């Protein structure tokens, strides 16, 4: 069972491997290996909750409820060596991606930041124009991944997928 507690989201979300789709055409990115759960989001609507971030459906997404910054923290089933993290989104102006290795979601290290150029469309149509950004890493050991959305082009932003390339550590 999942629900909202203390301003964050707790839930157990298993992530299947996905076939070639619109979200990952032309690349080898898949949902982050063995993602266990979205453990925290700073806003959670009822129609487009955090489950959509880890889902593989073309219409699945998480939508903010306004105000910035917004944060999303994802826990992996086990420590994973990540070589890249890919974010598929809409309406985001500035964002950062961080990772943490320890057993608790703290002491995050910055994987990278990005400023998206102004979209060609205006108003609500901005949320349908997909943005895609890949953050390359130096084969970092990660247990948690955090997406920080610093600003958007409008009041709301969308995260469609959070994907990565990496290998589980078996030891």
Q: Which residues of 139-154 are buried (b: 16+ CB within 10 A; e: fewer)?
A: ebebbbbbbbbbebbe
CATH code, 159: 2.60.120.260
Domain coverage including residue 31 = 8-118+127-168
Residue 124: pLDDT band by 50, 70, 90 thresholds? low
Q: How many domains does the chain have?
A: 1
Tell which wins on pLDDT, 124 or 93.
93
Give SS3 for 164: strand
Tokens of 89: 């989104």
Classify residue 23: in a domain, yes or no.
yes
Classify residue 155: in a domain, yes or no.
yes
Sign, Cα dihedral of 10, 65, 56, 88: negative
Which among 29-33, 66-70, 161-165 has the top mean pLDDT?
66-70
76-94: average pLDDT? 88
Give SS3 for 126: helix
Residue 36: pLDDT band by 50, 70, 90 thresholds? low
pLDDT of residue 60: 79
Tokens of 48: 């487009």
Q: pTM to 2 decimals?
A: 0.73
pLDDT of residue 120: 76
Answer whether 101's CB lies under 8 Å from 82's CB: no
Radius of gyration of the chain (CA): 15
DSSP output for 3-53: EEETTEEE---------S-GGGTTS--EEPTTEEEEEEES---SSS-THHH
pLDDT > 70: what percent of the chain? 68
Q: Is the pLDDT of residue 56 over 70?
A: no
Classify residue 2: in a domain, yes or no.
no
Contacts of 98 (CB under 8 A, 6+ apart): 108, 109, 110, 111, 145, 146, 148
158-165: average pLDDT? 84
φ and ψ at residue 42, rounded to 5 degrees: -85, -10
Classify residue 14: in a domain, yes or no.
yes
Classify residue 85: in a domain, yes or no.
yes
């Amino acid at each position: 069972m999942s629900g909202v507690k203390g301003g964050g989201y707790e839930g157990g979300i298993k992530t299947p491997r996905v076939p070639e789709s619109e979200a990952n055409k032309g690349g080898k990115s898949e949902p982050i290996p063995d993602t266990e759960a979205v453990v925290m989001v700073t806003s959670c609507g009822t129609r487009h909750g955090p489950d959509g971030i880890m889902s593989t459906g073309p219409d699945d997404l998480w939508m903010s409820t306004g105000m910035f910054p917004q944060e999303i923290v994802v826990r992996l089933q086990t420590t994973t060596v990540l070589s890249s993290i890919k974010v598929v989104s809409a309406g985001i102006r500035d964002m950062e991606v961080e990772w943490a290795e320890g057993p608790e979601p703290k002491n995050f290290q910055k994987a990278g930041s990005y400023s998206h150029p102004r979209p060609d469309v205006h108003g609500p149509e901005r949320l349908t124009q997909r943005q895609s950004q890949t953050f390359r890493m130096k084969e970092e050991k990660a247990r948690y991944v955090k997406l920080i959305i610093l600003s958007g082009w409008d009041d709301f932003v969308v995260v469609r997928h959070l994907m990565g390339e990496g290998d589980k550590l078996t030891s």
